[in-house]
């Protein structure tokens, strides 16, 4: 089990997510906007309707099913990257996946006003409160340096999709897709041609009976 960590950064200790026993947005400019004052680490993503065409057209991101991802991992040219909060990764993840969290669980009002408001709203709605992990760009670059010339398969809990459908005319947003967009937009050392999205996510991985580990 390999975890990419940045020395000196505050770890996330929450432990929620998939275990091995489980198997009206508005258009905003497509830029990373930083909040003011004490909340300047928070990433504000543009609307999904802006992200999806950039991923498919500008960055030419491809997608694979969980079965295809598992076959690719049988070789030595691909790495499976779990972008969920580190505590969720530690509870259970696809065998061989490395942890590069693009999100972290919010710990109350510890990280400023906007973080506290997000924590309150998400908690009241029964959703695990999370926010962007400020260490993600550096952690991804470290993972890329540790796995030179390899293609990264990005996976999260639900997966989402880039393919339009009647229900989701712009595809379905997911944390793994947001993580890829953020990496591309930040100018990651990992080239966009080396980034692939895993549709269906860890939920589909477990449902397909593919191997999980703690």
CB 93 within 8 A of CB 86: no
CA 57, CA 39: separation in Å to the nearest integer? 32
Q: Is residue 13 part of a domain?
A: no
Q: Is residue 16 part of a domain?
A: no
- How many CB atoms within 10 Å of residue 192? 16
- pLDDT per residue over 14-27, tens digit each? 443 454 444 444 44
CA 48, CA 158: separation in Å to the nearest integer? 16
In the predicted model, is pLDDT for residue 102 greater than 70?
A: yes
For 119, the 3-state DSSP assignment is helix
CA 157, CA 174: separation in Å to the nearest integer? 8
Q: Which of 140, 143, 154, 131 is nearest to 200 (CA)?
A: 154
Q: Could you tell me the two tokens for 202? A: 């860890």
Please classify residue 18 by burial: count the beta carbons closer than 10 Å to its beta carbon, then call 0-12 exposed, 13-18 middle and 19+ buried: buried
Q: Is residue 101 part of a domain?
A: yes
Report the CATH number at residue 205.
Answer: 3.40.250.10
- pLDDT per residue over 46-83, tens digit each? 999 999 999 999 999 999 999 999 999 999 999 999 99
Question: What Cα–Cα distance (Å) separates residue 156 from each residue in 30, 40, 92, 93, 199?
Answer: 22, 25, 12, 10, 9
Q: Is residue 10 part of a domain?
A: no
In the predicted model, is pLDDT for residue 162 greater than 70?
A: yes
Q: Could you tell me the two tokens for 8? A: 């000196």
CA 162, CA 159: separation in Å to the nearest integer? 10
- Mean pLDDT value across residues 88-96: 95
Strands 33-34 and 2-3 turn out to be: unpaired
Q: Is residue 150 part of a domain?
A: yes
Tally of structural domains, the chain? 1
Q: Could you tell me the two tokens for 18? A: 């998939």
Place of tokens 């897709």: 177
Q: Is residue 21 part of a domain?
A: no
Q: Is residue 167 part of a domain?
A: yes
The secondary structure element, H or E, covering residue 207 is helix 201-207
Q: Is residue 143 part of a domain?
A: yes
- pLDDT per residue over 163-205, tens digit each? 999 999 999 999 999 999 999 998 999 999 999 999 999 999 9
Instruction: Give the structural domain span for 134.
Output: 26-213
pLDDT at 42: 61
């Amino acid at each position: 089990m390999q975890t990419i960590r940045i020395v000196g950064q505050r770890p996330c200790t929450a432990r929620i997510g998939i275990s091995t026993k489980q198997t009206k947005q508005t258009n905003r400019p497509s830029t990373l906007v930083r909040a003011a004052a004490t909340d300047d680490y928070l990433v504000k993503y543009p609307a999904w309707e802006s992200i999806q065409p950039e991923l498919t057209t500008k960055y030419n991101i491809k997608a694979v099913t969980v079965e295809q991802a598992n076959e690719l991992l049988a070789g030595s040219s691909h790495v499976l990257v779990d972008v969920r909060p580190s505590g969720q990764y530690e509870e259970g993840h696809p065998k061989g996946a490395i942890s590069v969290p693009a999100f972290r669980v919010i710990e109350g009002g510890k990280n400023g006003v906007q973080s506290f408001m997000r924590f309150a709203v998400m908690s009241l709605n029964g959703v695990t409160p999370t926010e962007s992990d400020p260490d993600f760009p550096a952690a991804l670059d470290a993972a890329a340096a540790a796995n030179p010339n390899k293609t990264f398969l990005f996976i999260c809990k639900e997966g989402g999709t880039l393919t339009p459908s009647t229900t989701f005319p712009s595809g379905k947003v997911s944390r793994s897709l947001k993580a890829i967009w953020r990496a591309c937009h930040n100018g990651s050392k990992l080239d966009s041609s080396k980034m692939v999205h895993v549709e269906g996510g860890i939920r589909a991985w477990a449902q397909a009976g593919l191997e999980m580990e703690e």
